[in-house]
Structures are given as structure tokens and as C-alpha cells.
């Protein structure tokens, strides 16, 4: 894996490693996605079934997974997996309950009632990718926060297997999370069905969840028709480490990210040349035992790097610049650095807090901002499923007190009708 030293490399070389755009310009993908969206919007179920036959299930004849099939899948999973799913769900619920906000009304100012009404959106669609295997954790991490927020109906779209079934692990997670309906569709066609509605798939108010570049592009195009939580790029981890870090653990954590996808990104930033060398050696030793060795190698070759810095201050600067999805802090005193770490989707402190703990079991959603978007956005959370309405009520006396200022502002902006709407009440 390539290694750069900030004291000797050029700014351009460093930028090529650190600054990755969220969505690369890709006219072919854009054209394909726009075509699918338009087709599904026009032909509904018929188009959805055609794309499902083309990409996933050659004999597709239906869109919704029957409840009986979900229950059969639930019955097929092992007891240990079911216990893991339940533990993950319990922790996700516990974490997200702490985020719930209450509506409020304020009557402190005479003659005025001001407030905010907080309500959940009514219907949410969660995308659960198939990729190279089932992702029941992604179902839990999207559906459970929505349920905690009080969303009335939560649907899941997930691509079927070649025989039309969905993986038992996904079915079990859907049952345990309380999913209302499951549709066996994936890709841009799933986004289109949720955004526009079909005879089978009801239109939703918000779409959440990860996916391929086609899914991300589709979410980008339907935003405004429906809400989305974020545009997510390939998964990534940045490990901040000093010379106390265990190179075996750092290498294992970088590989756990690299095996996701050839486009995934794993970075190590450290002031220790010895750690950098040891981690490189450990990666070569551990990677040969992975079932996804080829994927991990391509990920590290194309997008991975070890960046050697002059000191930990520079390491923190780089971490804040990258604004990674996952930021592991493997240093002697991680809590000392925490106040200075400004940009990250999830901050994982200390050697024991490996990234998979955050991804599967700790409780925060693993749907996180990527590609530097943690500079201005947040992980999926309860607020993503809530909407707020302002409440204003004025008495006659309160209107009289604020009328002159309101008229002044309206006339300054050239909005005579605004001013008149207040003035006509004064005349009355």
C-alpha cells in the first residue's frame, strides 16, 4: 500500500489521497438512472418488474414479499444470529430514544403564543442493499430509528436472489424491526418506486439507506419529490494512531473497511514510521486469509494509503480535512484528542472500539456521511424522521405592539400587500 510523508510529498500528491469527491461525474450512469426513473414513473409496476428480471430475478412476477415468506425466513436463521439481531436492535433503540424531542409552546411574551410542533413523517422507505451478501444490519440501522421516531409506516426495498427470495437474515431483521412491508426490488428502480409510487408500492415521504452509485444518483435526482437523509459514497475509515497502537489491530481495522467494496477507502495517519511499516507488513500477512482478498487488495491499491505526519497535531488537521465516515482514534489518550476532532461521522475512541462494533452493535446508526460530507452533515438519526411546524398566535394588543416594525420591514422590501395586511387590521 502506498505511503506518503507530508514532509516530502507535494500538496497535489497529498490532495489526491485525502480529497475524494462524493459523486464522480459519470454521464453514462446519469443517463441510465434518469431513464429508469422516467420509465418507472410512467409505467409503474410493469417497469419495476422488467428491471428486476434484468438485474436480479429472471422470472420476477411479483414485487412484494409475502408476510408468510418473511416468517419462513425468520424461522430459518440460527438462534445465535437471532440473538445478535435482537441485541443490535435493543442497543439501537436505546441510543435513539435519547434523541427524541418534544413539541413546545411559549407564552412568556404578553399576547403571544409561539412554539414548535414536532411530528414524524408518515411513511418511510428504507433501502437495504444486497451487494455480495445480506445486510440485515443496514435494515436495523435505518428502520429502528424510524420506528423510534414514530413513523407510521416503514417499508423496505431489497434486491431478491435469483429465485426471488430474500435472504433469511434480512427477513428475520425485518420481522424483528417491525417493518410494515417488504418489496423485493433494488437499484434505481427501487428509489423510483418509492419516490413516485406504483400500483403495488405506495409513495413515501422520505427515502433512507445506502446503495450503489446508481442508487445514490437516483436519490439525488428524486430529492424534492421526496426527502432523503444524505448522499452516501463508498465506505471509509481513517485511523489516527501513535506509537502505542497495535499494528495487528490497525491492519485488521483497515482491512475490515477495504473488504466492503473496491471503492472503499482505508487510511492510516500516524507520526510513527515504525507503526507505518509494521501495519503495512501486517496487512500483507492478514489479507491472504480473507474470503474477499481480491476486493480488499483493489480497495487498498486504489484508495488506501498510510500518511506519515510530523506530529499528532498535524494528524488531527488531516483527520478534520478528510472528515471521514469512521474515525478511529488509536492513541494512548484518545479522550484528550476528542475536543479537537471536528469532522467525522462516527468517532471510535481507543483500541477496543473497532469499527465493526460501531457498525453492528453499539447503537448509533451506521448510515454515516462519507466523502467529506461530515463537515456539514450528521449520521442518520431520529431527527431525519421528524418534521417541525412553527406555531404563532397573536392577540390584538400584541399585533398593535409589533405592527409598526412589520410595516417598516415590508415597505423596505417593496411588498405593499404585506404592509397592507397589517395596516388594514389597525384601521379596523
Burial of 112 (0-12, 13-18, 19+ CB in 10 A): middle
Catalytic residue among 259, 326, 355, 366: 326
Catalytic residue among 176, 259, 282, 325: 325
Measure the CA–CA gap between 36 and 41, rounded to whole angstroms: 8
> What is the full DSSP assignment across 372-393?
TGGGT---S-GGGGEEEEEEEE
Segments in the chain below pLDDT 50: none
Largest CA distance in the chain: 85
* Domains and their CATH numbers in the chain: 27-228 (3.40.50.1980), 234-374 (3.40.50.1980), 395-427 (no CATH)
User: Are residues 364 and 346 in contact, defined by beta-carbon separation less than 8 angstroms?
Assistant: yes
Cell of 44: 409503474
User: Are residues 141 and 366 in contact, defined by beta-carbon separation less than 8 angstroms?
Assistant: yes
Measure the CA–CA gap between 374 and 69, rounded to whole angstroms: 39
366 noted as active-site residue: no
Cell of 184: 423485493
Measure the CA–CA gap between 192 and 180, rounded to whole angstroms: 19
Burial of 38 (0-12, 13-18, 19+ CB in 10 A): middle
Please state the pTM of the whole predicted model.
0.94
Measure the CA–CA gap between 399 and 19, rounded to whole angstroms: 53
User: Are residues 114 and 391 in contact, defined by beta-carbon separation less than 8 angstroms?
Assistant: yes
What pLDDT score does 96 carry? 98
What pLDDT score does 1 carry? 86
325 noted as active-site residue: yes
Q: How many CB atoms neighbour CB 275 within 10 A?
A: 23
Residue 29: what are its φ and ψ, rounded to 5°? -65, -45
What pLDDT score does 26 carry? 86
What pLDDT score does 179 carry? 98
Amino acid at each position: 500500500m502506498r505511503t506518503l510523508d507530508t514532509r516530502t510529498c507535494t500538496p497535489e500528491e497529498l490532495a489526491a489521497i485525502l480529497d475524494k469527491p462524493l459523486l464522480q461525474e459519470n454521464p453514462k450512469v446519469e443517463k441510465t438512472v434518469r431513464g429508469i426513473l422516467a420509465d418507472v414513473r410512467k409505467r409503474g409496476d410493469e417497469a419495476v418488474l422488467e428491471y428486476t428480471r434484468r438485474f436480479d430475478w429472471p422470472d420476477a412476477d411479483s414485487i412484494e414479499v409475502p408476510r408468510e415468506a418473511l416468517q419462513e425466513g425468520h424461522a430459518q436463521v440460527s438462534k445465535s444470529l437471532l440473538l445478535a439481531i435482537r441485541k443490535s436492535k435493543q442497543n439501537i433503540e436505546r441510543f435513539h430514544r435519547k434523541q427524541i424531542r418534544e413539541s413546545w409552546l411559549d407564552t412568556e411574551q404578553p399576547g403571544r403564543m409561539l412554539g414548535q410542533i414536532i411530528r414524524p413523517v408518515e411513511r418511510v422507505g428504507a433501502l437495504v442493499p444486497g451487494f455480495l451478501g445480506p445486510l440485515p444490519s443496514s435494515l436495523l440501522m435505518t428502520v429502528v430509528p424510524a420506528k423510534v421516531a414514530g413513523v407510521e409506516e416503514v417499508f423496505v426495498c431489497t434486491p431478491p436472489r435469483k429465485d426471488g427470495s430474500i435472504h433469511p437474515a434480512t427477513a428475520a431483521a425485518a420481522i424483528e424491526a417491525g417493518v410494515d412491508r417488504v418489496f423485493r426490488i433494488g437499484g434505481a428502480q427501487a428509489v423510483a418506486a418509492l419516490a413516485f409510487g406504483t400500483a403495488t408500492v405506495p409513495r413515501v415521504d422520505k427515502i433512507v439507506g445506502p446503495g450503489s452509485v446508481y442508487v445514490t444518483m437516483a436519490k439525488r435526482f428524486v430529492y424534492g419529490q421526496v426527502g432523503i437523509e444524505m448522499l452516501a459514497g463508498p465506505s471509509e475509515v481513517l485511523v489516527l494512531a501513535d506509537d502505542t497502537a497495535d499494528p495487528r489491530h490497525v491492519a485488521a481495522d483497515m482491512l475490515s473497511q477495504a473488504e466492503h467494496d473496491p471503492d472503499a477507502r482505508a487510511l492510516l495517519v500516524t507520526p510513527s514510521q515504525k507503526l507505518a511499516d509494521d501495519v503495512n507488513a501486517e496487512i500483507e500477512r492478514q489479507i491472504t486469509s480473507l474470503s474477499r482478498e481480491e476486493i480488499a487488495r483493489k480497495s487498498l491499491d486504489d484508495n488506501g494509503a498510510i500518511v506519515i505526519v510530523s506530529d499528532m497535531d498535524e494528524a488531527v488537521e488531516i483527520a478534520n480535512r478528510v472528515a471521514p465516515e469512521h474515525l478511529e482514534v488509536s492513541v494512548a489518550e484518545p479522550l484528550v484528542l476528542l475536543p479537537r476532532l471536528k469532522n467525522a461521522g462516527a468517532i471510535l475512541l481507543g483500541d477496543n472500539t473497532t469499527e465493526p462494533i460501531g457498525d453492528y452493535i453499539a447503537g448509533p446508526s451506521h448510515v454515516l456521511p462519507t466523502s467529506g460530507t461530515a463537515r456539514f452533515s450528521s449520521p442518520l438519526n431520529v431527527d431525519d424522521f421528524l418534521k417541525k411546524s412553527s406555531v404563532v398566535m397573536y392577540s390584538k394588543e400584541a399585533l398593535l405592539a409589533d405592527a409598526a416594525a412589520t410595516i417598516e420591514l415590508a415597505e423596505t422590501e417593496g411588498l405593499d400587500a404585506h404592509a397592507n395586511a397589517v395596516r388594514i387590521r389597525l384601521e379596523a
